[in-house]
Amino acid sequence: MQQKIIILDFGSQTTQLIGRRVRELDTFCEILPYNKFPHDDPSVIGVILSGSPFSVYDPEAFQVELSAIRGRLPILGVCYGAQYMSHIYGGKVEPAPSREYGRANLETIEFDNPLFKGFQPNSQVWMSHGDTITAIPSGFRCIASTSKVKYAAYQAEGEKLWGVQFHPEVFHSLQGAQLLRNFVVDICGSRQDWSAASFVDTTVAELKAQLGNDRVILGLSGGVDSSVVAVLLHKAIGDKLTCIFVDHGMLRKDEFANVLEDYKCLGLNVIGVDASRKFFSELAGVEDPEAKRKIIGSGFIDVFEAEAMKITDAKWLAQGTIYPDRIESLNITGKVIKSHHNVGGLPEKMNLRICEPLQWLFKDEVRRVGRQMGMPEHLINRHPFPGPGLAVRILGDITPEKVHVLQEADDIFIRGLRNYKVKMDVAQARRVLAAGVPNGAPDQGEIEVSLYDQIWQAGVILLPVKSVGVMGDERTYEQAVALRAVTSTDAMTADWAHLPYDFMAQVSNDIINHVRGINRVCYDISSKPPSTIEWE
């Protein structure tokens, strides 16, 4: 049975990060709303209570009954989680005289406590709380303090129950990962057997059992998530999977043909639908960004549905939903606040059931699974690309000619990013590359990485601006493009990538010399916020 840690979410912004840290210990975990503990699940080996934006005294603070868990499973309370347990078991929590925020050092530590195995004296931790514990319940023992926070950590005597007021999950708690390892591996007894290989084996077996001989439909986008779902399903049910890949005409240069070819090489049964004419005609003359998005969104659903309806024996609709999509969709009261089912009313119309085999994975885990199944590296390390495609990178109205000009410029930029290689220490590459390092990378030494691999996302924007230039002896009056390349870890915030000047010079030259209709290239140096990654 797959062991798991449950993280009860009391609403802190760092709850997901706790999940990441647990997964990094090759241990499966689920983040659940604070009041949704799965009491009848025998695979749970430990519980972590997250932080919260609330004070334990707030009337709307989340309260939960822990008596069925305490004494049965190891518990670690983090920040609010620690304060909450102290509060309900008879300790005292009060507003701190000044907010305790930022770096602090554990000046006293009970070094032989299993939670602190391997800790250094004065270990740096990160605090972020307005309240503080001023007395711990009787039967609880203080096991670490900072100069300002007496009860930085406690344990219930003789019990596997701990609370820490600092945040072990954040980078600035320098031994936070060690603390979580101590809890998850030593205290809870994780076998650390979550791996991409075990995930593939278990999931393929589960899919076989779940789907039997049923036919499944899957929409492909060329992106990592839907591609990995396709390969997993193909392993489980072979030709009983039918994939639909729609070209709305706003894809990158040759992307439809190339990706279709990739899919066919992977042995997938794919129907490619070229619907570009429909989209160009519906988009003609439309300038408003939201109107463009709506036309593409609903047009996409129409085309997808029309194709899917032809597959009359389908029983399931598979989707590339991944864990962060679900976390966004569920607030901690368990209510869906944003739907990710982007194929309209198809499940109801065709009476299809939903199959989402990646719903528990983070993006980098999806990539590990893809690599494990031998998928080509260029499908795995692909940058994110917006659903409406180049339509949101052409400011103003869209014509096939403008798309063509943009595709050419974009192709030069992206190929340039892929071809410009630098040497990087492999340990650093593992840390900084959004898509991770390819299979077979050495454990030590240097590897070659491209600029493409070092950035989160890149593209070219066609501006509705003409400017004067001179080419040969002739005056030109042509359009300008902006190059956009950003670094990010989650697209919520982003910084413009500091691309080498020699690279930018070469790309600018290549675009102006080879793409007719463009005589000026700019580089976008805005961060998000206050700007966004896309221009529309």
Q: Which residues bind ligand XMP (CB under 6 A)?
A: 293, 384, 386-388, 457, 491, 528, 532-534
Minimum separation from the CB atom of position 206 to ligand XMP (A): 28
Residue 361 in tokens: 């994975």
Closer residue to ligand XMP, CB minimum distance, 146 or 488: 488
Contacts of 230 (CB under 8 A, 6+ apart): 218, 220, 241, 243, 263, 266, 268
Residue 468 in tokens: 């004067």
Q: Is position 167 annotated as part of the catalytic site?
A: yes
Minimum separation from the CB atom of position 223 to ligand XMP (A): 9
Catalytic choice (29, 87, 129, 169) = 169
Closer residue to ligand XMP, CB minimum distance, 223 or 469: 223
Minimum separation from the CB atom of position 535 to ligand XMP (A): 8
Closer residue to ligand XMP, CB minimum distance, 386 or 396: 386
Catalytic choice (29, 87, 100, 167) = 167
Contacts of 97 (CB under 8 A, 6+ apart): none
DSSP label at residue 219: E
Minimum separation from the CB atom of position 533 to ligand XMP (A): 3
Closer residue to ligand XMP, CB minimum distance, 172 or 293: 293
The answer to whether 190 touches 27, Cβ cutoff 8 Å, is: yes
- 72 half-sphere exposure, CB direction, 13 A CA radius: 11
Q: Which residues face 479 on adjacent strands?
A: 466, 518
Complete DSSP assignment for 183-206: IIIIIT-------HHHHHHHHHHH
Helix axes 224-237, 363-372, angle to 10 degrees: 40
What is the C-alpha separation between 474 and 470, in angstroms, rounded? 6
Minimum separation from the CB atom of position 425 to ligand XMP (A): 28
Closer residue to ligand XMP, CB minimum distance, 148 or 528: 528
Contacts of 502 (CB under 8 A, 6+ apart): none
Residue 80 in tokens: 């609010």
Burial class (CB in 10 A: 0-12, 13-18, 19+), 64: middle
Closer residue to ligand XMP, CB minimum distance, 62 or 323: 323
Sign, Cα dihedral of 416, 417, 418, 420: positive
Minimum separation from the CB atom of position 293 to ligand XMP (A): 5
What is the C-alpha separation between 387 and 391, in angstroms, rounded? 9
Q: How wide is the angle at C-alpha 13 spanned by C-alphas 10 and 16, nearest 5°?
A: 85
Contacts of 501 (CB under 8 A, 6+ apart): none
Minimum separation from the CB atom of position 532 to ligand XMP (A): 3
Closer residue to ligand XMP, CB minimum distance, 319 or 457: 457
Closer residue to ligand XMP, CB minimum distance, 382 or 528: 528
Burial class (CB in 10 A: 0-12, 13-18, 19+), 471: exposed
The answer to whether 511 touches 459, Cβ cutoff 8 Å, is: no
Q: Is position 79 annotated as part of the catalytic site?
A: yes
Minimum separation from the CB atom of position 5 to ligand XMP (A): 30
Catalytic choice (79, 188, 243, 355) = 79
Catalytic residues: 79, 167, 169
